[in-house]
C-alpha cells in the first residue's frame, strides 16, 4: 500500500508544470509503444479500475424504515402498545391502520422517484484507444492505468486525466468540468505551477469531449484520483442539509409529544391521588394521547407533498424527496450554473461588426431564419437586410464543419462549434445561396494552425478565384491592407487598424468569442497549400468581425424576473470567464444592465488581506472562474447567514454544491450522472422555468400544510380541553378512545387532506419568501389555534352539561351528544380556514371540490356508524331523540357562526389569516 501511495503522489505532482519527456520517464512508460500488457495488468491491480465510486442506493428496507422515523409515529406506537396491554384490541388495530397508511404512502412515492432516477443513468460503456505492446488497441476505459498512452480524436470522450505529449489542432469541450461554454484549444507546452484547472491547456480531463483535432496523451490519473474523482470526493464529504419542512414538522411533533405526556401524567397523578381506578386513568390517558396527537398529520403531509410531486412530474420535474417540494417554496437564494442551465450550451453568432455598423443577429422563434438589426454609435436603428455578399461568402466557404440536413441544420452537425455556428447562420439567412456556395469545390487550403491562428481556403466563384480567410482578429488584421466599406474597398490605415482592434477588444470584454473575416481576389489558382499561407494570405481585405455567444435560453429571463418578484435572489456561479458570465447575466436579468460586479475565483482564493469580505460576497450576484470547492463554500456561506439555498446545475463541477444546498436541482438531459444522483430535484426538460413552477407549487403546499395544521390542532385542542374539563370536574370521560380515533381518522384525513391539496392563492408568487427560521405554527397561529379551540370547547361543553344538568341524561347519552356535536363541529370548522379578505361564499375553501367530497364522505361515514349495529356497539352509540339531534345541530354550527362573524368584523387583520 505504501508503494501505491508513493506512486500516486508522483502522478498528482503538477504534471502540467513538467516537461512531457521527463514526465514519461517518471511514469516509467514509453511514448511510442505504451505499456506492456503485463505492466498494465500490474498497475490496474495496484490502482484499481478507472471508475468513480457510485453513490450507494437506499435499500427497500432502509426506505421503509425511514418512513417510521417520526416522533408522532413513535407516540402512536406507544399508544398502540398500551391499548394491547389493556386489552383494547380495536383501538390498537385502528392505530396500526394509521401507521401503515402513512408508511405505505411515503414509501411508494420515494420508491417511484428512485426508479425514475435509474432510468436517467447513462448505461453506455466508454471505450479508449491506447498504445500497448507497440500496437494500437481499443479497450474498456475502466481498464486504463497511469502510464497508458491514449490516442484521442474528434468525437471521443476523454476517459482519464492525462498530459498532452503531442496534438494537432486539438480542442476540448470542458463544460461538464469547468462550466466554460467555449471549447478549449490545447497544446503541449509546460505551464506555471499555480495554473488553475480551467487554464491547464496541456492537460485533458476525464469526462470531457474532443470537439476538434487529435492528440497523444500519457495518462496521469485514473478513477478517484482524476479531477472528476476529486469532485466526487467533495460530494461525499459535503453534508446534505435536512430539509426545512422536516425540521419544522419534527419540532412541532416534539412539542405536541411533550405537552401530551405532561397532561397525561398530570391527570394520572391527580386521579391516582383521588383514588380512581388505574384502568380508568390509563384509558383516559390513552384518550388524551389520541386527542392531542393529530394522527392524520403524517398521512396528510405525505399525500399533500406526494400530490405536488405528481403534479410536477407531469411538468418534467422529478422529485426525489417529498419534503424537497416544500423546501423550494422557502428558497431565498438560487445559485445557478451558466452553461447548459441559463444558456443553450452551443455557440451562436450574435454580433456582426461591419464598417460603420454593428449588427445584432436576431433569430426567429422557429430558428429557421434570421434578421440583422443595427446597433452601436452612429448607426440608424431598424432592420437591416443587406448583409454584404462577401461577408456571407467568406463565412460559408472558409469553414470545415458540416450540418445535418435532416434536422434543418439547427443543432446537428460535425466540426468546431464556432464553424457550426457560422453555418447555421448562413443557412438560415439565405438557404439557396448557402447551398450553392457549399457545393463549390475547394481548390486549395491552409488549415487552421494554433500558432498562426488563421485559416484560408480558395474557391472558384463567379468566374474568378476567391480566397476566404478567417481567424483571431489581430493576426487577420496584420495580414490586411484594405477594408471593405459600403462604397467599396479603401486602404486600411493605422488609425483604422487600431479602431478595429478596439472593436475586437470591446466585443471580447462583453463576453463574446470574436473572429475576423477577410478575403482576396486572385488572378490565378495557387500551386499548393504553402503558397496559400506564405504568399496569398497577405495584403487581404478585412470584411468584418463576428462575435459568438452561448445564447441564453429564451424562457429564462421571464423566469428569473418572476423569481425576483417572488423575493428570490438569483446568483450565477460558473467556471466561465467574467466577461461571458456578465454578458449572460445581463441578458437574463440576473444583474441590471448598468451593474458590473463580478467576483473572480482567484479573488476568493486570496489571503485574508486581499479576500473580499463576507458582506461583499453576499452582495455579489455573479461569480466567475470558480471551482467546485468554491461553489460549495458559497452555498455554505449563504446558509450560515440564514438563507435557504437552491442550487441548479448539470456538470460534475456542480455536484458538491448540489448536495450541500437545501435544494439541489439537476438538469436531466445534459446533467451528468453524478449531478443527478446528488440532487433533490431533476428537470427532465432542462427548463429553468420549471423551477419557478416548482417554487410556486412548494409555496402552495406549505400554505396548505399550515392551513390543515391550524385546522387539525384547533379541534384537537378542543378535544383535550373538553376531556380535561369534564374529567377534572365530574370525573366522567366525555369521549372514549375508540370514538376519538374513529373521529380523528375521518377529520384528520379527509377534510384536512382536501385542504392540503387545494389550488392555493393566485398571488402566491407575489409574496416574499418566509423567514427560514419561522416555524410552521408561529405564535400568531398558536393564539388563533387557542381561540378556535376555546370557541369549539365552549359550544361542546355547553351541549354536554346542558344534556347532563337540564335534561338529566346519563353519562353514556351525554357522551353521544358530545361526540356527534364534536364530529359535525369539526367538519364545519373547515370553512373557518378561508382567508379573511376572501368573500364568505366564494373562496379557496368553497371552490375546492375535494372539500365538498370530504364533507359528504365523512357525514356518510358518521351516520353509517350510527345506523350499523356492529359499529354502533363498538363505538358505544345509543339511539338519540329528536331534541338531542337538535342540540347537536345548534352546538356544531355555533362555532362557525362565531368565527366567521369575527372574520367579517376584523376583515384583513392578520390574526384571521388561515
CA distance 203 to 165: 9
At residue 207, the 3 state secondary structure works out as coil
CB atoms within 10 A of CB 538: 12
CA distance 628 to 412: 31
Please return the burial class of 811, using the count of CB atoms within 10 Å of its CB with bins 0-12, 13-18 and 19+: middle
Please return the burial class of 406, using the count of CB atoms within 10 Å of its CB with bins 0-12, 13-18 and 19+: exposed
- The answer to whether 71 and 79 are in contact (CB under 8 A) is no
- The answer to whether 726 and 291 are in contact (CB under 8 A) is no
CA distance 629 to 769: 28
- The answer to whether 500 and 477 are in contact (CB under 8 A) is yes
DSSP state string for 827-858: HHGGGGGS-TTS-SSSSTTTT-HHHHHHHHHH
Q: Which residues contact 692 (CB under 8 A, 6 or more apart)?
A: 559, 562, 563, 765
Among 444, 471, 439, 470, CA closest to 457 = 444
Alpha helices in 314-376 (DSSP H): 323-330
Q: Which residues contact 361 (CB under 8 A, 6 or more apart)?
A: 348, 349, 350, 351, 352, 370, 372, 425
Report DSSP state, residue 214: E
- The answer to whether 178 and 235 are in contact (CB under 8 A) is no
CA distance 753 to 741: 17
CA distance 792 to 800: 12
Do the strands 480-485 and 209-221 form a parallel or antiparallel pair, or are they unpaired?
unpaired
Tell me the C-alpha to C-alpha distance, in Å, between residue 31 and each of 113, 165, 202, 226.
Answer: 48, 8, 16, 21
Q: Which grid cell is 468?
A: 476566404
Q: Which residues contact 62 (CB under 8 A, 6 or more apart)?
A: none
CB atoms within 10 A of CB 539: 12
**Grid coordinates 455536484 are at which residue?**
655
Please return the burial class of 251, using the count of CB atoms within 10 Å of its CB with bins 0-12, 13-18 and 19+: middle
Tell me the C-alpha to C-alpha distance, in Å, between residue 839 and each of 13, 767, 781, 910.
Answer: 72, 20, 21, 16
- The answer to whether 884 and 747 are in contact (CB under 8 A) is no
CA distance 281 to 273: 11
- The answer to whether 324 and 243 are in contact (CB under 8 A) is yes
CA distance 31 to 10: 18
Please return the burial class of 740, using the count of CB atoms within 10 Å of its CB with bins 0-12, 13-18 and 19+: buried
Residues with a catalytic annotation lie at 337
CA distance 722 to 709: 20
- The answer to whether 210 and 158 are in contact (CB under 8 A) is yes
CA angle 410, 415, 421 (to 5 degrees): 40
CA angle 702, 696, 304 (to 5 degrees): 40
Amino acid at each position: 500500500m505504501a508503494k501505491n501511495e508513493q506512486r500516486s503522489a508522483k502522478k498528482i505532482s503538477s504534471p502540467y508544470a513538467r516537461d512531457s519527456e521527463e514526465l514519461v520517464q517518471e511514469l516509467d512508460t514509453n511514448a511510442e509503444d505504451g505499456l506492456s500488457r503485463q505492466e498494465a495488468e500490474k498497475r490496474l491491480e495496484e490502482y484499481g479500475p478507472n471508475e468513480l465510486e457510485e453513490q450507494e442506493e437506499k435499500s427497500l428496507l432502509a426506505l421503509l424504515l425511514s418512513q417510521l422515523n417520526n416522533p408522532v409515529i413513535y407516540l402512536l406506537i406507544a399508544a398502540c402498545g398500551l391499548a394491547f396491554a389493556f386489552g383494547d384490541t380495536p383501538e390498537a388495530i385502528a392505530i396500526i391502520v394509521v401507521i401503515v397508511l402513512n408508511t405505505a404512502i411515503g414509501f411508494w412515492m420515494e420508491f417511484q422517484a428512485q426508479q425514475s432516477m435509474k432510468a436517467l443513468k447513462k448505461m453506455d460503456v466508454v471505450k479508449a484507444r491506447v498504445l500497448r505492446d507497440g500496437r494500437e488497441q481499443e479497450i474498456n476505459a475502466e481498464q486504463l492505468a497511469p502510464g497508458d498512452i491514449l490516442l484521442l480524436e474528434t468525437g471521443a470522450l476523454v476517459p482519464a486525466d492525462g498530459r498532452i505529449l503531442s496534438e494537432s489542432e486539438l480542442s476540448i469541450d470542458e463544460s461538464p468540468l469547468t462550466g466554460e461554454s467555449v471549447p478549449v484549444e490545447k497544446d503541449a507546452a509546460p505551464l506555471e505551477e499555480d495554473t488553475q484547472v480551467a487554464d491547464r491547456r496541456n492537460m485533458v480531463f476525464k469526462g470531457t469531449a474532443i470537439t476538434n483535432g487529435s492528440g497523444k496523451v500519457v495518462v496521469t490519473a485514473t478513477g478517484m484520483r482524476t479531477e472528476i474523482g476529486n469532485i466526487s470526493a467533495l460530494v461525499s464529504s459535503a453534508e446534505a442539509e435536512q430539509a426545512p419542512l422536516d425540521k419544522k414538522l419534527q419540532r412541532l411533533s416534539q412539542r405536541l409529544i411533550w405537552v401530551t405526556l405532561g397532561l397525561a401524567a398530570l391527570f394520572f397523578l391527580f386521579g391516582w391521588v383521588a383514588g380512581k381506578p388505574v384502568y380508568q386513568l390509563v384509558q383516559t390517558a390513552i384518550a388524551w394521547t389520541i386527542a392531542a396527537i393529530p394522527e392524520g398529520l403524517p398521512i396528510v403531509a405525505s399525500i399533500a407533498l406526494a400530490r405536488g410531486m405528481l403534479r410536477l412530474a407531469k411538468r418534467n420535474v422529478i422529485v426525489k424527496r417529498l419534503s424537497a417540494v416544500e423546501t423550494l417554496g422557502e428558497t431565498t437564494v438560487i445559485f445557478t450554473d451558466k452553461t447548459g442551465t441559463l444558456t443553450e450550451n452551443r455557440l451562436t453568432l450574435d454580433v456582426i461588426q461591419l464598417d460603420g455598423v454593428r449588427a445584432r443577429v436576431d433569430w426567429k422563434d422557429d430558428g429557421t431564419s434570421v434578421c440583422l438589426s443595427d446597433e452601436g454609435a452612429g448607426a440608424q436603428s431598424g432592420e437591416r437586410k443587406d448583409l454584404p455578399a462577401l461577408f456571407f461568402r467568406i463565412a460559408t466557404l472558409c469553414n470545415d464543419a458540416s450540418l445535418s440536413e435532416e434536422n434543418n441544420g439547427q443543432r446537428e452537425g460535425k466540426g468546431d462549434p464556432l464553424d457550426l455556428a457560422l453555418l447555421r447562420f448562413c443557412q438560415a439567412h439565405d438557404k439557396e445561396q448557402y447551398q450553392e456556395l457549399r457545393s463549390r469545390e475547394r481548390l486549395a487550403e491552409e488549415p487552421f494552425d494554433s500558432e498562426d491562428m488563421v485559416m484560408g481556403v480558395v474557391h472558384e466563384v463567379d468566374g474568378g478565384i476567391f480566397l476566404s480567410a478567417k481567424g483571431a482578429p489581430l493576426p487577420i488584421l496584420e495580414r490586411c491592407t484594405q477594408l471593405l466599406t459600403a462604397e467599396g474597398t479603401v486602404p486600411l490605415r493605422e488609425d483604422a487598424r487600431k479602431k478595429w482592434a478596439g472593436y475586437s477588444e470591446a466585443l471580447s470584454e462583453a463576453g463574446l468569442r470574436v473572429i475576423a473575416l477577410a478575403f482576396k481576389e486572385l488572378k490565378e489558382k495557387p500551386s499548393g497549400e504553402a503558397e496559400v499561407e506564405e504568399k496569398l494570405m497577405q495584403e487581404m481585405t478585412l470584411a468584418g468581425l463576428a462575435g459568438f455567444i452561448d445564447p441564453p435560453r429564451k424562457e429564462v429571463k421571464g423566469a428569473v424576473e418572476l423569481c425576483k418578484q417572488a423575493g428570490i435572489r438569483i446568483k450565477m456561479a460558473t467556471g466561465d470567464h467574467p466577461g461571458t458570465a456578465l454578458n449572460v447575466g445581463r441578458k437574463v436579468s440576473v444583474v441590471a444592465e448598468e451593474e458590473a460586479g463580478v467576483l473572480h475565483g482567484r479573488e476568493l482564493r486570496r489571503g485574508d488581506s486581499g479576500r473580499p469580505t463576507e458582506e461583499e460576497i453576499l452582495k455579489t450576484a455573479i461569480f466567475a472562474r470558480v471551482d467546485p470547492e468554491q461553489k460549495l463554500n458559497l452555498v455554505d456561506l449563504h446558509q450560515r447567514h440564514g438563507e435557504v439555498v437552491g442550487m441548479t446545475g448539470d456538470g460534475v463541477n456542480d455536484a458538491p454544491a448540489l448536495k450541500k444546498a437545501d435544494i439541489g436541482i439537476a438538469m436531466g438531459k445534459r446533467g451528468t450522472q453524478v449531478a443527478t444522483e446528488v440532487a433533490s430535484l431533476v428537470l427532465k426538460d432542462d427548463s429553468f422555468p420549471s423551477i419557478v413552477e416548482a417554487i410556486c407549487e412548494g409555496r402552495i403546499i406549505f400554505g396548505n400544510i399550515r392551513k390543515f395544521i391550524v385546522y387539525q390542532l384547533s379541534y384537537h385542542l378542543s378535544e383535550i380541553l373538553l376531556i380535561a374539563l369534564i374529567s377534572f370536574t365530574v370525573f366522567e370521560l366525555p369521549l372514549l378512545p375508540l370514538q376519538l380515533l374513529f373521529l380523528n381518522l375521518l377529520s384528520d384525513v379527509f377534510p384536512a387532506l382536501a385542504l392540503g391539496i387545494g389550488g392555493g392563492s393566485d398571488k402566491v408568487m407575489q409574496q416574499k419568501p418566509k423567514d427560514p427560521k419561522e416555524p410552521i405554527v408561529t405564535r400568531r397561529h398558536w393564539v388563533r389555534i387557542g381561540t378556535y379551540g376555546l370557541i369549539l370547547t365552549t359550544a361542546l361543553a355547553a351541549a354536554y352539561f346542558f344534556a347532563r344538568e337540564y335534561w338529566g341524561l346519563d353519562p353514556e347519552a351525554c357522551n353521544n351528544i358530545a361526540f356527534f356535536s364534536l364530529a359535525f363541529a369539526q367538519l364545519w370548522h373547515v370553512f373557518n380556514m378561508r382567508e379573511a379578505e376572501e368573500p364568505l361564499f366564494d373562496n379557496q375553501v368553497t371552490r375546492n371540490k375535494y372539500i365538498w367530497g370530504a364533507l359528504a364522505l365523512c357525514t356518510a361515514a358518521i351516520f353509517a356508524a350510527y345506523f350499523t349495529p356492529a359499529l354502533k356497539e363498538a363505538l358505544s352509540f345509543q339511539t338519540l331523540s329528536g331534541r338531542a339531534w337538535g342540540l347537536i345541530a345548534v352546538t356544531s354550527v355555533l362555532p362557525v357562526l362565531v368565527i366567521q362573524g369575527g372574520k367579517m368584523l376584523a376583515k384583513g387583520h392578520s390574526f384571521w389569516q388561515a
